[in-house]
């Protein structure tokens, strides 16, 4: 996507004029920067009211748009824990502590201590390999069905 960015031309007399178009362009550039920074997958436009009145928010109208577009249903599905996507490095950072903890409840610790050579080997692997290995260990120790999760790229 081309970014809508141009330098503001100077008007006669050396002073820059702020036109409606200049204000719109600055607003659009700000929106594009926000979207790129947040790494959004999609944008849903919602009208605040049917009459196109400024500074008027019709709550009932907005809720109906969100319901009919499927946005509310999508939010409920995401809230339920389905199709949650996490970066693999964050999964590793969050769950690798479990490698030490799993199995302690049955009397024999099957966990990997920080000094365990298998753990050192895991640290040498790429993040996807490390996460897959960690999940395989946790899956066998906790008897988790592999069909309940999937590791992507």
pLDDT tens for each residue of 68-95:
888 888 777 777 765 566 778 888 787 7
> pTM here?
0.38
User: Looking at residue 101, what is its pLDDT?
Assistant: 61
Helical H runs in 39-83? 59-68, 71-79
What residues pair up with 10 in beta bridges, in sequence order?
Answer: 16
Chain mean pLDDT for the chain: 74
Query: Under a CB-based contact definition with an 8 Å cutoff, are residues 98 and 138 in contact?
Result: yes
Q: Which of 24-28, 93-97, 137-141 has the highest mean pLDDT?
A: 24-28
User: Looking at residue 11, what is its pLDDT?
Assistant: 45
What percent of the chain is helix, strand and coil (3-state, nearest 5)? 55, 0, 45
User: Looking at residue 138, what is its pLDDT?
Assistant: 77
- Tokens representing 79 are 């809230």
The residues spanned by each domain of the chain are 1-41, 44-84, 88-148
């Amino acid at each position: 996507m081309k970014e809508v960015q141009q330098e503001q031309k100077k008007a006669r007399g050396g002073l820059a004029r702020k036109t409606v178009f200049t204000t719109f362009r600055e607003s659009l550039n700000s929106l594009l920067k926000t979207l790129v920074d947040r790494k959004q997958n999609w944008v849903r436009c919602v009208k605040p009211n049917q009459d196109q009145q400024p500074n008027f928010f019709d709550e009932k109208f907005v809720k109906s748009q969100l319901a009919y577009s499927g946005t509310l249903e999508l939010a409920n599905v995401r809230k339920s824990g389905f199709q949650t996507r996490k970066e693999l490095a964050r999964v590793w950072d969050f769950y690798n502590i479990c490698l030490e903890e799993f199995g302690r409840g049955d009397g024999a610790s099957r966990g990997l201590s920080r000094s365990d050579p298998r753990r050192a080997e895991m640290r040498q692997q790429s993040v996807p390999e490390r996460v897959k290995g960690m999940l395989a260990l946790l899956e066998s120790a906790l008897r988790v069905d592999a069909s309940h999760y999937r590791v992507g790229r």
